[in-house]
Amino acid sequence: MNILVCLKIVSQATFTDSLTDNDDRLSGGKLGINPADAYALELALRIKDNAPETMVTVVTMAPSYAENALRDAIAAGADRAVLICDSALAGSDTLVTANILAAAINRLGGFDLVLCGRKAIDSETGHIAPQLSERLGLPMAAAVTAFAIDGDTLRICCTNDGVSAEYEGAVPAVLSVCNGTDMVRSPTVMGMRRSKKAAIERLTLADIGISAENAGLHGSPTRTAAVETMSFRKGKKCVCTDADAGAQALIELIKGGKRDE
């Protein structure tokens, strides 16, 4: 069994930290693997605990500083780590990221399961898993809290709004994994010793066959307009019975940047 886990490296700054602070105070917070992704990795490693021949690969699209986090993943038990790193990737939105990941996954090839954390704690879009499943042409289950391989059958438990449902499916598949409450393993001393010698494979845009125009800020159909601390006030409601008119009104609202009409 070949499992790939997509990791995002995020900053664990809390909402009380200043977002516009430019000095080197505590803005930025700790860098680490996004909690839901770490949980997905943990679930993959538990499969490996019971079936040691399982191969677990981790991949991330990030600047060079992500190497430390990838080594931690190897120290926790991952077999292989891939870093997609290219200066042209700066500013990539979720669509571009999904395209890049899909291209890399296709190049690496042969995975039975592709796991993603459901949402990242910084942007919280939840886009990557569904976009990846489209690009890879694979079925996807969302809000996965547990899964098991039973011969050829993939058994999945999905939990939404406190209601759990169980599904059966087949590999290969993409699973969007919710962050759970079970303990996520930390790297052991032995694991860290092993990971020191491990090679982190690096892929550039050229390696995965994507051009710079289709990457980074330039290639992204969406971009972050502003990062602000939100304050909420009561405002007028907008009621539309016509879907097109309603959609148009919404677009005007968003473009206008007004939030209380």
Partner 1 sequence: MELRGFMHEMILTELEDAVGVENVSHSSDQKLAYGTDYFWLARMTVDKGGNPALPDYVVRPGCAEEVSKVLKIANYYKLPVQTWGGGSGSQGGALPMAGGIVLDIKRMDKLLDIDTKAGTITCETGMIFQTLEWYANEQGFSVMHLPSCLTCCTVGGALAHNGIGILSTKYGKIDDQCLSVEVALPNGDIINTLPVPKHSSGPNLLPLFLGSEGTLGIMTKAKFKMTKLPEVRRHHAFLFKDISTGYDACREIVQTVKPSIVRLFDEAETVSIIKKVIGFEKRGSFMNLTVEGHAKIVAAEEELILDICKKYDAEYLGTEYGEKWFENRITFFYPGYIMNNPQMFGTLDTVATYDNIEKIYWAMKKAVEETYDGVRFISHSSHWYDWGCMNYSRFIIDNPPEDQEECIRLHNRIWNAGVRAAIANGGVINDHHGVGLKLGRLMKESYGPAMQVLQGIKKELDPNGIMNPYKMGL
Partner 2 sequence: MFSKDSARQADACRFCWMCRHICPVAGATGSEAWTPRARGLMISMIERGTEFDKDIAEAMYHCTLCDACANDCVTGYKPSEYTREARMRAVVEDLAPAAVIKMIDTISECGNIFGLSAMGKLFEKAGKLPEKAEVLLFIGQTAEAMRADTGVHAISILKKAGIDFTVLADEPASGAYLGELMGYTGDVQAVAAHTAKMIADTGAKTLVVLNPADAAMFKEQYGAWGLLSGIEIVTATAFIAALIADGKLKVKKAGIAGSLQEPVKLTRALDEIAPFKAIADACGIELTELFLNGKMSRCIGTVPFDVYAPEVAAQMVRVRCEDAVRLGSNLIITASPDDFYIMSKYATDGVKIADIYEILDGLC
Nearer CB in complex with partner 2: 47/171 = 47
Site for partner 1 in 13-52 (CB under 8 A): 23-26
Give the span between the Cα atoms of 18 and 9, in whole angstroms. Answer: 20
Least distance between partner 1 and beta carbon 26 (Å)? 8
- Hey, what are 92's tokens? 């990539």
164 lies in the binding site for partner 2 (CB under 8 A): no
Nearer CB in complex with partner 1: 27/159 = 27
- Hey, what are 25's tokens? 């105070």
Least distance between partner 1 and beta carbon 137 (Å)? 49
| Of 192, 198, 249, 253, the one binding partner 2 by CB under 8 A | 192
185 lies in the binding site for partner 2 (CB under 8 A): yes
Angle at which helices 94-108 and 128-136 cross, to 10°: 50
Nearer CB in complex with partner 1: 26/254 = 26
CB 14 within 8 A of CB 29: yes
What phi and psi values does residue 32 have, to the nearest 5 degrees? -165, 180
CB 170 within 8 A of CB 112: no
Q: What's the chain's Rg over C-alpha atoms?
A: 20
Contacts with partner 2: how many residues (CB under 8 A)?
Answer: 23
Site for partner 2 in 50-109 (CB under 8 A): 65, 68, 75-76
Binding mask of the shown chain, residues 193 to 222, with x at each position contacting partner 2 by CB under 8 A: x--x--------------------------
Conformational region of residue 191, where left means phi above 0, alpha means psi within -120 to 50, and beta covers everything else: alpha
- Hey, what are 209's tokens? 């066959």
Residues that bind partner 2 (CB under 8 A): 24-26, 28, 30-31, 65, 68, 75-76, 181-189, 191-193, 196
